[in-house]
Structure formats: structure tokens, C-alpha cells
Amino acid sequence: MCVLFCLLISNLITASIWNIVLISVDRYIAICYPLDYSRKMSLTRVRYCVCLCWFCASSCSFFYANNELIQPGRYKSCTGECKFIISYILGTFDLIINFILPVTTIIVLYMRVFVVAVSQARAMRSHITVATFRSVTSGTKKSELKAARTLGVLVVVYLMCYCPYYCYSLVGISLSSSPYSFSLFILGYVNSCLNPLIYALFYPWFRKAVKVIVTLQILQPGSREAKLL
């Protein structure tokens, strides 16, 4: 059960973080390349990307639980204890995979989205865009910019939840023996719980979709035709 716990936790956290990266890529293409969005972000391609994300997260989870898989109970000091030791190599790997790479990718893409959004706003204010084109695309742009703002909130919450953990580990303090380790780990777990709540606050269709799933309406025939928008 301890090995299963390590595998499950590392899998879910890694997948949650990289799902935010996938959302940032989606928003980047939607705002920076709106005319090519439907071609580049086809349903099949999205499915492949999501499956690849979860496959990579599952593969990484075996690396995290490698010590427990080889020698179960190696770090136990008493019966029933489930101890998760983060070595220097594992901590470095975790820092790169779950913090540096996703944060760098998200910030670069989001800055690009911000620059494009500002340039589009200036173009509309200076009447460079044709009036008919503006009337057609204004609603779409508003929706895309709202989605970009939601992504910004997700990124800020992600940084707030994970920065204390990684800053604390970077100073060389052993998280396994620190009295703050439990709080820091829980703070990281909370991030994965907050993401769907953020979406629920910003998108009515998301709340309707959750209601359909929770009330088991999704099991009824014709549920796929339910109107969420």
C-alpha cells in the first residue's frame, strides 16, 4: 500500500502540473494563431496529447517510487509507517520536471499571449481592423482572453502552492526530517484540488458538466447531447 500510495501521488501531481502546460499551449495557439486553431488542435491530436501526458506522468511515478519498489519498507522506523525519502538525485529530477520546465514553458507562452492580446487591443482601438471583421471576432477574442486570464490565475495558484516547497528544498534542508515537511507536501496537494474549483468559478459550462457527472446523468442515453453552453 505504501508503494501504491507513492505511485498514485506522484502520478496525479505530475499529470496535474503538465495538464496546466497543455492548457497554456492550447490558449497560446487559440490567441496567437486563431485561423489555424481548428486544424492544429483537432480532437484526435488533443486526445493523443492528454494520453501522452498521463503516460509520461505514470512513467515518472515509477522513478519516484524506485527505492520502495526495490526494497519495500527500507526507510520504515516502525510498523505501519510509510516514509517517502527524497534523495538528492530524485529532488533534482523533481525540481526540473515538475517546476523548472513547466514554469518556464507556461511563462514563455503566457508572455507571448499577453503581447499578442495587447497588440490586438491596440489595433482595435486605432481602427486598423475592419469593422465587419471586428464585429465577427470580438466575441471570440473576448472568450479567448477570458480563458487566458483563467490560465493566469491557475499559474499564480500553482506558484503559490509549489514555490514554498521548492524554495525550502533548494536551501538544502532535508524535507524528510523537517517539521514543516508535512505542511509543504499538503500545500502541493492542495494545488491539484484548487484547479477544478478555479474552473468552476470562471466557467458556467464547467459547473454544468460536473453536475452531469456527479448526478450520474452521464450514464443515461443521449447524455453526450446535453447542452452545456
User: What is the per-residue pLDDT across 119-154, written as a single tens digit (0 to 9) for each?
Assistant: 766 666 665 544 444 444 455 456 556 666 777 787
Measure the CA–CA gap between 136 and 132, rounded to whole angstroms.
Answer: 6
The three cell numbers locating residue 206: 464547467
For residue 182, the model assigns a pLDDT of 59
First to last CA, the chain: 42
- pTM (two decimals): 0.69
**Domain ranges (residues) in the chain:** 2-225
Which pLDDT tens digit goes with each residue over 165-221? 777 766 655 555 555 555 666 777 787 778 777 776 777 777 788 888 888 887 877
Domain 2-225: CATH superfamily is Rhodopsin 7-helix transmembrane proteins (1.20.1070.10)
Measure the CA–CA gap between 163 and 145, rounded to whole angstroms.
Answer: 26
For residue 124, the model assigns a pLDDT of 62
For residue 135, the model assigns a pLDDT of 46
What are the start-end ranges of the H helices in 71-171? 88-95, 101-125, 131-170
For residue 74, the model assigns a pLDDT of 63
Average pLDDT (72-84) is 66
For residue 148, the model assigns a pLDDT of 64
For residue 53, the model assigns a pLDDT of 93
User: In the chain, count of helices (H) and strands (E)?
Assistant: 9, 0
For residue 52, the model assigns a pLDDT of 94
Q: Name the percent of the chain lying above pLDDT 90.
A: 4
